[in-house]
Amino acid sequence: MAEKTVSTDSLAIESKKEYRGKKLRMAFIGCGGIAQTHMQALREMPDVEVVAGCDILPERLENFQTKWGVTELYEDWRKMLKNVELDAVSVCTPNGVHAPASIDSSKAGLHVITEKPMAMNPRECQQMIDAAKKAGKKLCVGFQFRYHPNTQFLKKAADEGQFGKVMFMKCHALRRRGIPNWGVFGRKELQGGGPMIDIGVHIIEMAHYVMGSPRPVAASGNTWTFLGNKKSEVVSMWPNWDHKTYTVEDLAIGQIRFENGALMQIESSFCNHIEKDVWNFQMVGEKGGCTWDPPSIYRDQAGYMVNIQPGWISQESNFNTLFSIKLRNFVDACLKDTPLTAPGEAGLAVQKILDGVYRSAEAGKEVKID
């Protein structure tokens, strides 16, 4: 029997009908600062309805209701998952709560997007992936910098083979003096670490993405705490952090070996004696290299060494816009079953890198990554 032919115009019309008619019912676990950025993006999406929120602090729930009009409020996410009809959950808690909140949400039959880093360790990440797979639901990690125009430009160049075999990647996520003076960023028992797991994770994930996501096999690294655990009178952008509860590193340096022979070096700091903050990576391949900022490709062409930069690149690179792009990707994946740009497996690979650096620092030697 001949296949029935459907015009692309008809498909487009049907898609629009479905888009208009179906909304993703979402809830938040964690209604603090980063949840506000999520909400700013989601309120512009007509196919999303945020119907509930959960937080252990009543004042955050009150603010969530006052600011966003969300009335289904809970202090226990298990009660929320049981009582509210939902399609998806956004997990915006401290790192130590990502895994249990995500796993419970998957078991409840919901799609999940969790903020970075994915969890406290690779074992938790795998449990999250397993729970989502068993439920047949999506699991997305909030790696917004892989949606950045600079990252997308370099990723497409890498996919075209412009760099050839990648040999080396050098990453910097460095602040001269930028210890967060809010939240629990200085408490290792709740966060898992300091700048490496909080801001280093961003450079690592987008660099690993551009490299082609090779499998990490070994790590070496070290960490130092020399400023954050002391009271400081030095003028800075975020003064008066809680030095008494500060148990994370100020500076972390790591080197990762990958299965394909490539190396990645990562330097990350909350506070460091350097000229200025640095946020960048530089990659070297057999056919060419690149930097993230400015987005540039360096290679040989027509018998000369040439530097290549895009004549125009999207300026959609501010913090809020990147959140809108990543949340749009998640919502489309949930409603239309389109691919996730940052699935749980990407979060697991990055977590293995983070975990390897911290384990090596503690052991004082290179460690294997399983």
List of domains in the chain:
10-144 (3.40.50.720), 146-314+343-368 (3.30.360.10)
Strand order in the sheet with 72-74: 72-74, 48-54, 24-29, 88-91, 111-115, 139-142
If you average pLDDT over every residue of the chain, what do you get? 93
**Residue 118: exposed, middle, or buried by beta-carbon count in 10 A (0-12, 13-18, 19+)?**
buried
Which tens digits make up the pLDDT trace of 80-112?
999 999 999 999 999 999 999 999 999 999 999
181-238: pLDDT as tens digits = 999 999 999 999 999 999 999 999 999 999 999 999 999 999 999 999 999 999 999 9
E strands, 60-159, where?
A: 72-74, 88-91, 111-115, 139-142
What does the alpha-carbon distance between residue 60 and residue 69 come to, in Å, rounded to a whole number? 13
Mean pLDDT to the nearest integer, 63-76: 97
Residue 105 confidence (pLDDT): 98
Q: How confident is the model at residue 16 (pLDDT cuts 50, 70, 90)?
A: very low
C-beta neighbour count of 189 within 10 angstroms: 12
Identify the band that residue 341 occupies on the pLDDT scale cut at 50, 70 and 90: very high
Cα angle at 38 between 329 and 212, to 5 degrees?
40
The answer to whether residue 164 scores a pLDDT higher than 70 is yes
Look up the pTM and report it: 0.91
